[in-house]
């Protein structure tokens, strides 16, 4: 799932690690609501950090598809915020499980399709390839 930019690939790997940890929490015999809430916050916070990294380089390198890509980021944030609100409103583990399914599908598609569109641009401007 490499986008051939070490910095971005490292962030993707870190995010996948958070998702794996989240998955582990969901599969425990009696997951704790506080732990799930913390994991949701970490997933949301790291995604925002990651998106800001990509968007900084979109602007710096005048990436031609930046508006479309940024719109995908905003749509993702809106959807995840909806999941978080449902979780906080009592949706519990069921919402968290649906969120994890959404995250897995979204990230695999986003990295393998959308993020690869900026690889050449970033590499040409000096971000190291992986």
How do the domains of the chain map onto residue ranges? 6-124
Instruction: State the pLDDT at residue 40.
Output: 82
Q: Which SS3 state, helix, strand or coil, does residue 80 take?
A: helix
* Domain 6-124 CATH superfamily: Hemerythrin-like (1.20.120.50)
Assessment of whether the complete model's pTM goes beyond 0.85: yes
Instruction: State the pLDDT at residue 106.
Output: 93
Q: Could you report the average pLDDT of every consecutive run of 10 residues in the chain (130 residues)?
A: 92 91 74 74 91 97 97 95 86 78 92 94 84
Instruction: State the pLDDT at residue 45.
Output: 92
Between CA 118 and CA 7 the distance in angstroms is 13
Nearest to 49 by CA among 82, 91, 14: 14
Instruction: State the pLDDT at residue 123.
Output: 93
Instruction: State the pLDDT at residue 129.
Output: 63
Q: Which SS3 state, helix, strand or coil, does residue 62 take?
A: coil
Instruction: State the pLDDT at residue 79.
Output: 92
Instruction: State the pLDDT at residue 32.
Output: 64
């Amino acid at each position: 799932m490499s986008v051939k930019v070490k910095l971005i690939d490292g962030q993707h790997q870190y995010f996948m690690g958070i998702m794996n940890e989240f998955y582990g929490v969901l599969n425990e015999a009696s997951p704790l609501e506080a732990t799930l809430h913390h994991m949701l916050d970490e997933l949301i916070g790291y995604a925002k950090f990651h998106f800001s990294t990509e968007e900084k380089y979109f602007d710096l390198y005048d990436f031609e598809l930046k508006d479309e890509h940024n719109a995908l980021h905003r749509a993702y944030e809106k959807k995840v915020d909806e999941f978080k609100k449902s979780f906080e409103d009592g949706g519990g583990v069921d919402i968290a499980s649906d969120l994890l399914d959404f995250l897995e599908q979204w990230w695999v598609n986003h990295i393998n399709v959308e993020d690869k569109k900026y690889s050449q641009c970033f590499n040409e401007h000096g971000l190291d390839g992986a």
